[in-house]
Amino acid sequence: SRFETCWPALMKDSHGVIIIFNPELPSHLKEIEMWYSCFVQQQPLLDSQCLLVAHHKPGSAGDTENLSLAYPLNKLKLIHSNLEDDPEDVRMEFMKYFRSIITFINESREREEMSIIS
């Protein structure tokens, strides 16, 4: 990818990764493995800091709600977004994800402070 030189800057001090893909494109299913490897495993971030979003275009065919991903992607939180049908549902999932990241950051910070004190 022509943006690979920017990746280290993008990753620096990041606390979470959201990977959005089109579940109807077989090439995307291959690519998300690479994104996961580069942006989550190599940092390293925990799987709980990663959110997968299968985005369905308006009028898209196929029953992709039953999307089954192979290991290690099947360990990640996966949500389906279809902004025609249920934008509120997606919004709630994003809020849940951001809250979990904020909790994680706060807990990490507390652990650091305690280790400095002790």
List pLDDT tens digits, range 39-92: 999 888 999 999 999 998 877 765 556 788 889 999 999 999 887 777 888 899
More confident residue, 8 or 51: 51
Structural domain tally of the chain? 1
Residue 1 lies in a domain: no
The domain containing residue 91 runs over which residues? Answer: 11-117
Burial 87-118 (b: 16+ CB within 10 A, else e): eeebeebeeebeeebeebeeeeeeeeeeeeee
Residue 28 counted as domain residue: yes
Whole-model pTM: value is 0.83
Q: Is residue 3 part of a domain?
A: no
Asked if residues 39 and 31 have their Cβ atoms less than 8 Å apart, the reply is no
Query: In the numeric block, which tokens belong to residue 54?
Result: 């299968």
Taking residues 5-25, report their average pLDDT: 88
* pLDDT the model gives residue 44: 87
Write down the pLDDT at residue 86. 73
Examine residue 49 and state whether it is found in any structural domain, yes or no. Answer: yes
Residue 5 lies in a domain: no
